[in-house]
Amino acid sequence: MSEFAIRAEKLDAGDELAGVRGKFVLDEVVYLDGNSLGALPAAVPGRVEDVVRRQWGELRIRSWDESGWWTAPERIGDRIAPLVGAAAGQIVVGDSTSVNVFKALVGAVRLAGAGRDEIVVDATTFPTDGYIAESAARMTGCTLRPVTPAEVPGVLGERTAAVLLNHVDYRTGRLHDLPSLTAAVHAAGAVAVWDLCHSAGALPVGLDEHGVDLAVGCTYKYLNGGPGSPAYLYVRRELQDRFDSPLPGWNSHAEPFGMRDSYEPAAGALRGRVGTPDILSMLALEAALDVWDGVSIEAVRAKSLALTDFFLECVAAYAPADRVESVTPEAHAERGSQVALRCDDAGDVMKELIARGVVGDFRHPDVLRFGFTPLYVGFGDVERAARVLGDVLGR
């Protein structure tokens, strides 16, 4: 047994989150694709069967009331809130990340008010966020200004209406400085919108603490909500009575069953709802969130950093130095919960890794991406993944 395998055993033995692993459906595969799709929590299939067979099959329409379907968006939002550092009553679940980015960004421009006609967007953002930002700019008569997050403070001014940023870069795993960037946006009188897709469930976010205005995120990555599980929208309490959604659906009406000709938004974060909720996916997500009972996000962050530190150390020991290069920051304050390795033939390497039971993913043109979900990934998994990578690269 290698030195690293022995260390992995000791680290797993002392892992305070080790018991959570048993709450997931896992096999012999080392699953490091959690930043694209989290593993299945074991309680979800039974809960979904109940929703389908009893709530839908027997209670039918009565389930909107008796099974709590109608209140699911805000109820599940309150389950997510502690994981992103938000008090209850500020998050609603529903729609996709893309739809919520649109709602948040147009809503942000409307909050900013007259005279502000520029949207600043992260130039390295996930493509959809960029597409939505470009469309939102055209629809609101704004100019779109793409810059890197590091450049944001230098381009803010009295014309800036809203700034859309990613908390963690999806390619490199770089963690951006949410507190200081939010403060800079506010100092310029603009509205801060954050995409939390690659941070929620992996590290503390502190939405309330840092005064974030609006935030969106998906739930199928580190929150393990399932493929295509609904996203969420955060609207800071102090802004809720002024938040003007560009998608005023009947579900966000103050009297949804009044069927009024004119629209009157509901009070609070409920005005972030749009149409009829996707109940099957939403209640699967609710069941998935049970794995967080008794788990602190601080403990998750500590393990995440330990896992990624150990992986980088193992890769340095096992893999030929001239074959891979980490593009993920070494500094803990700048690292999310993934490691991205640059490799010339990354696509073929990832295919071989998957064939050997190590599942990560490939990002064009040359990045091997490994996501570490601390609730079910152990140090033994990390050592094995690095060792197999070394074997593949050393052939």
- Report the DSSP pairing between strands 214-217 and 191-195: parallel
366 is an active site residue: no
Whole-angstrom Cα distance, residue 250 to residue 265?
9
Task: Out of 31, 126, 234, 362, pick the active-site residue.
Answer: 126
Q: Of the residues 31, 102, 170, 220, which is catalytic?
A: 220
Distance CA 160, CA 137 (A): 12
Cis peptide before 256 (omega within 30 of 0): no
Catalytic residue among 195, 213, 278, 381: 195
For 305-328, give one letter per residue: b (16+ CB within 10 A) or e.
Answer: bbbbebbbebbeebbeeebbebbb
Encoded amino acid at 39, one letter? A
CA 314 to CA 19: how far, in whole Å? 24
CB proximity list for 319: less than 8 A, separation 6 or greater: 386, 389, 390, 393, 394
Judge whether 322 counts as a catalytic residue.
Answer: no
The CA–CA distances, whole Å, from 31 to 24, 28, 337, 372, 377 equal 12, 9, 14, 8, 7
The answer to whether 236 is a known catalytic residue is no
Q: Backbone phi, then psi, for 341, in 5-degree steps? A: -115, 130
**Is 126 one of the annotated active-site residues of the chain?**
yes
| Catalytic residue (one of 271, 369, 384, 387) | 369
* Active site annotation includes 10: no
Q: Which residues are catalytic?
A: 126, 195, 220-221, 369
